[in-house]
Amino acid sequence: AIRALSARPGARLVAATDNNRQGEVYAARLETIAINAGCKYDRLRPQASDWNEELRERARA
Tens-level pLDDT at each residue, the chain (61 residues)? 999 999 999 999 999 999 999 999 999 999 999 999 999 999 999 998 999 999 999 999 8
% helix, strand, coil for the chain, step of 5: 50, 15, 30
Q: Give the C-alpha distances (Å, rounded to integers) separating 35 from 30, 57, 61.
A: 9, 34, 38
**What's the pTM?**
0.84
What does the alpha-carbon distance between residue 7 and residue 33 come to, in Å, rounded to a whole number? Answer: 9
CA distance 17 to 9: 24
